[in-house]
Amino acid sequence: MRFDILTLFPGMFSSPFQESILGRAIQKELVDIRIINVRDFALDKHQVVDDTPYGGGQGMVMKVEPIARAIAWARSEEPSAWTIYLTPQGKPFDQEKARDLSSRPHLILLCGRYEGVDERVRELFINEEISIGDYVLTGGELAAMVMIDAVSRLLPGVLGSAQSAEDDSFTNALLEHPQYTRPFDFEGRRVPEILLSGNHAAISLWRRKEALKRTALRRPDLLAKARLTRKDEELLEEIRHDGDGI
């Protein structure tokens, strides 16, 4: 899968993609990332990429021409590359969107800066606007990194055991169950016995119940849209009966 990142600060991407899972995915050529400096497509002597907003107001706006040329260059090999603008005004990014994007061969990610981009960029070149959260960043670069990480780990061969992408949070719309590892006893706090029982059916039932409890307590909005089995409803009844505050 190819990711083209359009940015005014290419240096921000030097280290995040060298480490761990993403670093290995790049080495294994499962993921190919091109960092494209929009300033290289500003053809005037001073390579101007931003200007004051028409109608006045504070801050600067990114100019349309350098972005238009940069997108045309990125699309030169793949005209149908899906082009995303990271912006607080976009659709909220979530696991479902990550899974949807992981089926595309080529994504172009436009990272905004300053007050954002000229509106004609959106009208002419952007297929989808996505936000990673209701807060304001200094630039879209970190949002692009978040998206590349969440999408890449869903690609076949990127994560060690295929299993782990299947049962992580949000995949089946519930938060994940508690995890434990050695030591068995830490400052008097012991690992739930059930996890050492070797009874895998009982362990997965405990984990499902804990996932339901955690989701009900922390994200009732997710529980409301989760597809629950009859067994889940029984477990939720038990949880309510146990008075675990839900």
Q: Tell me which residues touch ligand 4FV (CB under 6 A).
A: 86-88, 112-114, 116, 131-133, 135-137, 139-140, 143
- Nearest to ligand 4FV of 54, 135 (CB atom): 135
Among candidate residues 16, 66, 153, 210, the one labeled active-site is 153
Q: For residue 109, give both structure tokens.
A: 């990610």
Check: CB of residue 136 under 8 Å from CB of residue 86. Answer: no
Q: Could you tell me the smallest distance in angstroms from the CB atom of residue 100 to ligand 4FV?
A: 17
Q: Could you tell me the smallest distance in angstroms from the CB atom of residue 138 to ligand 4FV?
A: 6
Q: Could you tell me the smallest distance in angstroms from the CB atom of residue 214 to ligand 4FV?
A: 26
Q: Is 115 a catalytic residue?
A: yes
Taking the CA atoms of residue 209, residue 178, residue 94 and residue 139 in that order, the dihedral angle to the nearest 10 degrees is 160
Among candidate residues 65, 115, 128, 129, the one labeled active-site is 115
Q: How many helices (H) and strands (E) does the chain have?
A: 9, 9
Check: CB of residue 236 under 8 Å from CB of residue 216. Answer: yes
Strand 185-186 versus strand 32-37 pairing type: unpaired
Q: What is the distance between the terminal CA atoms of the chain, rounded to a whole angstrom?
A: 42
Q: Which residue has the tokens 């607080």?
A: 88
Among candidate residues 168, 176, 208, 232, the one labeled active-site is 168
Check: CB of residue 4 under 8 Å from CB of residue 106. Answer: yes
Q: Is 79 a catalytic residue?
A: no
Q: Could you tell me the smallest distance in angstroms from the CB atom of residue 220 to ligand 4FV?
A: 24
- Nearest to ligand 4FV of 137, 217 (CB atom): 137
Q: Is 44 a catalytic residue?
A: no
Q: Could you tell me the smallest distance in angstroms from the CB atom of residue 148 to ligand 4FV?
A: 13
Q: Round to whole Å and give the CA distance between 47 and 44.
A: 5
- Cis preceding linkage at 16, omega within 30: no
- Nearest to ligand 4FV of 108, 143 (CB atom): 143
- Nearest to ligand 4FV of 133, 178 (CB atom): 133
Among candidate residues 65, 75, 88, 104, the one labeled active-site is 88
Q: Is 16 a catalytic residue?
A: no
Task: Report the catalytic residues.
Answer: 88, 115, 153, 168
